[in-house]
């Protein structure tokens, strides 16, 4: 035991000696102080934004005029090689001011000489240079964009636009310029009759992700996309593109013109889809626009035309909670309550379809309704809207009949609605199939039953409710009897 204790003591002593002999670790503060010893802090380079390491302004003043002289003498290639070498020095030396001057001088020389093809090549080379400054690219694109109207022919203009689009592709700092260039190229293609090319060009730009554009510029660009997709008759793509527009932004006062354009394009789409309820909502949105409400004329720009169109398509729409709610809201509109002979028929039609009464077809105000349909429903769809008007009136009448009758003879129902037996059965089948109405037709007996059969669970629930009501009445009666006994001390 004693020997073991001595061994442990010796081992611990050796460990302490080694710890003392080991070099002491320096702290971060001590290391920094030792590293900065003898260094003049004032002379150290600092990084604050873009700092110049070298100044090539003097060299540029001599080489740019020399390149201009070479270009005038027909040696444009040598001039570009000279300036490209200068551009490299400025770029690596972070001399941004001289770099911008050099780059703009290169494209200006190509423009002054009239070599548009060389201009496109030079712009591509400059934009692809390693660690190219965004300031240089932005200045170059802005300068070249100004020359679009100076091109000698359309082919040159298209080539310059294409080159500029390649330069701006994927660069966040020239998003606004790219959107303008894209619209110009699409306009040229559309003028040449290439609708598909113009549409593809516009849809290639996802302007909703651009941060450099304002809300107004984004919406304006998207509306142009929608217009071209409609012109191309790509209805699905038009619907998807229209979803990109935030309708809350359209409600702002400075967006009224864009709002009218947007819903005008939606009307064109929904006419193609024959969606009467959506058409009614489109016209109602236009009707609620401030500038439209201030226009008292009967022209398409005024509120009268848009209110009439809204009512027209609302009557053609399939019955639904949304359609019914909109009917009841419109019938309370203050503008329809005016003592105006022009609006009286529309107020009357809304009143008819919001009350549980059978409406005769043709309507009493069928003539103004047909006139408005011819104006806004397009001639190609005239027969469709006529059929739809008769169908919606008949369906309204069947819903009214279902409220007043449990069972009725098919012939009698046809007589009330002005329809044949076959037509009654056809319209009933449509409503029942759509889940809008419950009905059963006994064809041999010629009877229609609107009474929904009661299940055994519903019957038991009714009985339980009746028994509970009876027991409540008995209990209340006993309470009143006891009360009378107490009062009269019987």
Distances (CA, A) of 91 to 56, 83, 210: 10, 12, 27
Q: Say how far apart CA 408 and CA 417 lie, in whole Å.
A: 13
Find how far residue 468's CA is from the centre of its chain.
56
Max Cα distance, the chain (Å): 135
**Based on C-alpha coordinates, what's the Rg of the chain?**
41
Return the C-alpha torsion angle 441, 443, 444, 449, nearest 10. 20
Give the side-chain half-sphere CA count within 13 A for 161: 22
Instruction: Enter the pTM of the model.
Output: 0.79
DSSP calls for 428-445: HHHHHHTTS---EEETTT
Give the number of residues written for the chain: 490
Give the tokens for residue 363. 């309507």
Mapped onto helix, strand or coil, the DSSP state of residue 54 is coil
Q: Are 294 and 255 in contact (CB under 8 A)?
A: no
Tell me the C-alpha distance between 196 and 188, whole Å.
12
Burial degree of 69 (CB within 10 A; 0-12, 13-18, 19+):
exposed
Q: Which helix (H) or strand (E) holds 315?
A: helix 303-316
> What b-and-e string marks burial along 204-240, b requiring 16 or more CB atoms within 10 Å of the CB?
ebebeebeebeeeebbbbbbbbbbbbbebebeebbee
Our CA dihedral for 39, 45, 47, 49, rounded to 10 degrees, sits at 160
Q: What is the pLDDT along the chain (490 residues), one digit of tens a residue?
A: 565 566 556 566 565 655 555 555 566 666 666 655 655 544 444 444 445 468 889 999 999 999 999 999 989 999 999 999 999 999 998 899 999 999 999 999 999 999 999 999 999 999 999 889 999 999 999 999 999 999 999 999 999 999 999 999 989 999 999 999 999 999 999 999 999 999 999 999 999 888 889 999 999 999 999 999 999 999 999 999 999 999 999 999 999 999 999 999 999 999 999 999 999 999 999 999 999 999 988 888 899 999 999 999 999 999 999 999 999 999 999 888 876 888 999 999 999 999 999 999 989 999 999 999 988 988 888 899 999 999 999 999 999 999 999 999 999 999 999 999 999 999 999 999 988 899 999 999 999 999 888 788 888 888 888 899 999 999 999 999 999 898 887 6
Return the ∠ at Cα 380 (arms to 375 and 385), rounded to 5°: 65
């Amino acid at each position: 035991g004693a020997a073991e204790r001595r061994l442990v003591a010796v081992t611990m002593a050796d460990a302490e000696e080694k710890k003392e002999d080991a070099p002491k670790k320096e702290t971060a503060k001590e290391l920094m102080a030792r590293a900065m010893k003898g260094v003049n802090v004032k002379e150290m380079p600092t990084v604050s934004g873009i700092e110049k390491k070298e100044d090539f302004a003097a060299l540029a003043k001599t080489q740019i005029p020399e390149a201009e002289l070479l270009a005038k003498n027909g040696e444009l290639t040598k001039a570009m090689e000279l300036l490209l070498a200068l551009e490299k020095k400025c770029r690596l030396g972070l001399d941004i001011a001289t770099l911008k001057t050099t780059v703009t001088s290169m494209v200006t020389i190509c423009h002054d000489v009239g070599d548009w093809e060389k201009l496109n090549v030079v712009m591509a080379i400059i934009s692809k240079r390693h660690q190219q400054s965004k300031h240089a690219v932005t200045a170059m694109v802005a300068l070249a964009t100004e020359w679009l109207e100076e091109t000698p022919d359309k082919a040159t203009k298209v080539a310059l636009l294409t080159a500029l689009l390649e330069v701006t592709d994927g660069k966040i700092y020239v998003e606004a310029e790219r959107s303008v260039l894209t619209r110009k190229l699409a306009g040229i293609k559309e003028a040449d009759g290439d609708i598909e090319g113009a549409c593809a060009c516009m849809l290639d730009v996802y302007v909703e992700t651009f941060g450099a554009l304002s809300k107004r510029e984004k919406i304006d660009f998207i509306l142009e996309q929608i217009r071209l997709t409609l012109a191309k008759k790509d209805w699905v793509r038009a619907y998807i593109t229209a979803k990109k527009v935030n309708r809350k932004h359209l409600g702002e006062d400075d967006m009224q013109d864009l709002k009218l354009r947007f819903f005008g394009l939606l009307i064109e789409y929904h006419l193609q889809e024959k969606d009467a309820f959506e058409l009614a909502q489109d016209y109602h949105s236009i009707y609620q626009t401030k500038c439209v409400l201030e226009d008292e004329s009967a022209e398409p720009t005024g509120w009268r035309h848009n209110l009439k169109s809204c009512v027209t398509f609302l009557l053609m729409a399939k019955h639904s909670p949304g359609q019914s709610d909109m009917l009841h809201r419109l019938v309370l509109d203050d503008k329809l309550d005016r003592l105006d002979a022009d609006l009286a028929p529309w107020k009357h039609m809304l009143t008819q379809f919001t009350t549980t009464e059978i409406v005769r077809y043709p309507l009493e105000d069928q003539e103004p309704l047909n006139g408005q349909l011819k104006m806004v429903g397009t001639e190609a769809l005239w027969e469709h809207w006529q059929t739809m008007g008769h169908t919606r009136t008949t369906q309204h009448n069947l819903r009214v009949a279902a409220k007043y009758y449990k069972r009725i003879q098919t012939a009698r129902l046809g007589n009330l609605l002005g329809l044949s037996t076959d037509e009654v059965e056809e319209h009933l089948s449509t409503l029942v199939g759509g889940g809008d109405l419950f009905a059963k037709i006994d064809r041999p007996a010629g009877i229609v039953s609107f009474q929904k059969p009661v299940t055994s669970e519903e019957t038991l629930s009714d009985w339980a409710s009746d028994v509970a009501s009876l027991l409540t009445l008995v209990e209340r009666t006993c309470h009143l009897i006891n009360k009378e006994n107490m009062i009269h001390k019987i």
